[in-house]
Amino acid sequence: MSHADDQAGWGTTEGLREAARTTIAHGRAVLGIELGSTRIKACLIGERSQVLAAGGHEWENRFVDGVWTYTLEDVESGLQEAYRDLVADVRLRYDVGIESLAAIGVSAMMHGYLAFGADGRLLVPFRTWRNTSTGPAAAALTELLGVNIPMRWSIAHLYQAILDEEPHVKDVAALTTLAGFVHQRLTGRAVLGVGDASGMVPIDPRTHDYDETVLQRFDELVADRAPALRLRALLPEVLEAGAEGGRLTASGAALLDPTGALREGALLCPPEGDAGTGMVATNSVAPREGNVSVGTSVFAMVVLEGPLEQVHHEIDLVTTPAGDPVAMVHCNNGASELAAWVGLFTRFAEASGTALATDAVYEVLFREALAGEGDAGGLLAYNLLAGEPIAGLREGRPLVLRTPDSRFTLANFMRAQIYGVFGVLSLGMRVLASEGVRLERMLAHGGLFRTPGVAERFLSAALAAPVAVGEQAAEGGAWGIAVLAAYSASHAQLDLARYLDDHVFAGAEVRTVEPAQDDVAAFTAFLERYRTGLAVERSAVESA
């Protein structure tokens, strides 16, 4: 985040507060909303992209009839709760309400399947990115199209539904993503940012629109089973960063703020996926730059200088919010298993009569991990709660493995757990390295990096590349989509990369960790055992 506010000479803390209050009261603040896997965040920023206030709402996906899903009722109520929490934070900090906004941006977890009928009714429960039931469709489409089609992409879900002869297919009139759904509820417009759209159907790098060859081949492929289907007719319009995605309608304002205080009229930027907003939040939208986002899932995005030579099932080809090609390594499993262990230790501290806040427990355990052996003392930790396509697993089983001579200490255990978060990611990144893709640095964000000097050090070892963490690492995509909304509202003539450099990140502070040779060698040894140990994971999936 820029320190431009401090440099602008606003002076005292009270002066900063009054300036922020004026920005909010005059409707010049910008709102970013991101619907993540476990938390819906709302972030209000000022005219220099500084965070003014934040709100949030915890939620969880449901596993219903073999499908990972969220209900649309949960989406709407969670959206309202996050906004209400933000308004309360604004009132507490500045003693003012929110009546109007300059701009709004909506981001959400990418991919999955939201299919609607002509009457706007959801035809089947939302199938999130976490579902791995589309293997046959993804494999067939990858072979047909000559580009990797991951199991979580919307086109794979649609084709699988066609292969399975699901009765709802004949009634599908529109497809969108979660961000697209919320955006349409706020504006009435069926549009998507190009980055989010690239998780539905492959994008043509020349036009920054859906690939016409893909659309034609898909229609031909399904002609016998779904003769009336025309894929383009189902898809939202694609917009690049900086475009206007619509305006907040009266009904949209009422949805977001049922109290009626918020007025219609705010500009909305194109809705984006969490991968794209993570790139913006870390200022990694230029070639040879990349970012790693860690949450319920973990993924790396690397902006490419040119096309890859081969198709790799481990690598997705998506785009930045500006439409530039990106190689994405997406892992279905991130920090959830680590969080479960932290919860166990939190409860132990409470039961012992020495209760600690969750953040304090993370701090203690992460610091302990630094004292662990480089290869985690022979321990292995698998964070696989769900299936993991990169590892060839249709389901997940969280495991901790050790041999009789492993050094089973708390320090080694925690190091193995953190290493485990990056295990599958590292396997995928090694495929990208084999293509000769060069990295100048990786920028990391997510709550895992709140304890300085721990997770970024281990990630640097896993990637054998410098890892940088910015001041807003824990804010993540809610701030990133707010910045994209401000970019649209500014009508700037600069491209996105230049806008971020000049107007958002000028003077920003980051902490950077260079990969230490000993750490890289130690993680490499861990990863070889991790790769071999996947046989145990597969056996566990087959057995229980």
Which residues lie across from 441 on neighbouring strands?
A: 289
Output the pLDDT for position 282: 85
State the average pLDDT over residues 60-72.
93
Examine the pLDDT at 5 and tell me if it is beyond 60: no
Share of the chain above pLDDT 70, in %: 97
Q: Contact, 331 vs 211, CB < 8 A?
A: no
Output the pLDDT for position 527: 97
Q: What is the pLDDT of residues 289-339, one digit of tens each?
A: 888 988 888 989 999 988 888 888 889 899 999 999 999 998 999 999 999
Output the pLDDT for position 293: 86
User: Vertex 511, ends 505 and 515: CA angle to 5°?
Assistant: 125
What is the greatest pairwise CA distance in the chain? 70
Q: What is the pLDDT of residues 466-509, one digit of tens each?
A: 999 876 545 578 999 999 999 999 998 899 999 999 999 988 88
The DSSP code for 330 is: E
Examine the pLDDT at 202 and tell me if it is beyond 60: yes
Q: Is 157 helix (H, G, I), strand (E, B) or coil?
A: helix
Give the Cα separation of 167 and 155 in Å (integer). 17
Give the Cα separation of 544 and 537 in Å (integer). 11
DSSP assignment of 411-464 equals HHHHHHHHHHHTHHHHHHHHHHHHTT---SEEEEESGGGSSTTTHHHHHHHHHT
Q: Is 117 helix (H, G, I), strand (E, B) or coil?
A: coil
State the average pLDDT over residues 155-177.
98
* Tokens describing residue 332: 């279905």
Examine the pLDDT at 4 and tell me if it is beyond 50: no
Examine the pLDDT at 526 and tell me if it is beyond 50: yes
Closest CA to 31 of 248, 184, 237, 192: 248
Q: List phi, psi (to 5°) of 43.
A: -130, 125
Whats the size of the chain, residue-wise? 544
Mean pLDDT of all residues in the chain? 93
Amino acid at 15: G
Closest CA to 272 of 215, 308, 322: 322
Confidence of residue 198 (pLDDT cuts 50, 70, 90): very high
Closest CA to 393 of 541, 544, 526: 541
Q: Contact, 307 vs 204, CB < 8 A?
A: no
State the average pLDDT over residues 433-462.
89
Q: What is the pLDDT of residues 407-432, one digit of tens each?
A: 999 999 999 999 999 999 999 999 98
User: Which one is predicted more confidently, 442 or 343?
Assistant: 343
Output the pLDDT for position 16: 87
Examine the pLDDT at 7 and tell me if it is beyond 60: no
Which of 104-118, 457-471, 505-519 is modeled with the greatest confidence?
A: 104-118
Give the Cα separation of 116 and 123 in Å (integer). 5
Output the pLDDT for position 11: 40
Residues contacting 226, CB < 8 A, separation 6+:
162, 169, 170
The label of the residue with tokens 């989010």 reads 196
* Tokens describing residue 457: 């050090």
User: Is domain 111-176+201-234 classified as CATH 3.30.420.40?
Assistant: yes
Give the Cα separation of 31 and 37 in Å (integer). 20
Output the pLDDT for position 472: 56
Locate CATH 3.30.420.40 in the chain.
Answer: 111-176+201-234, 282-334+426-512
Burial of residue 357 (number of CB atoms within 10 Å: 0-12, 13-18, 19+):
exposed
Output the pLDDT for position 230: 97
Query: What's the CA dihedral at 57, 63, 69, 71 to 10 degrees?
Result: -60
State the average pLDDT over residues 344-358.
96
Q: Where are the alpha helices (DSSP H) in 194-241?
A: 194-197, 212-221, 231-234
CA 32 centroid distance within chain:
14
Closest CA to 311 of 139, 534, 135: 139
Burial of residue 532 (number of CB atoms within 10 Å: 0-12, 13-18, 19+):
exposed
Q: What is the pLDDT of residues 262-278, one digit of tens each?
A: 999 999 999 999 889 98
CATH class of 282-334+426-512: alpha beta
Q: Is 237 helix (H, G, I), strand (E, B) or coil?
A: strand
Average the pLDDT over each of 228-242, 252-266, 495-509 and give the range with the smallest value.
495-509
Q: How many other CB atoms sit within 10 Å of the CB of residue 249?
A: 18
Q: Contact, 178 vs 109, CB < 8 A?
A: yes
Give the Cα separation of 229 and 493 in Å (integer). 39
Q: List phi, psi (to 5°) of 7.
A: -70, -20
* Tokens describing residue 94: 């500045």
Examine the pLDDT at 6 and tell me if it is beyond 60: no
Examine the pLDDT at 138 and tell me if it is beyond 50: yes
State the average pLDDT over residues 339-360.
96
E-only strand ranges, 25-113: 30-35, 39-45, 51-58, 62-64, 67-69, 103-108
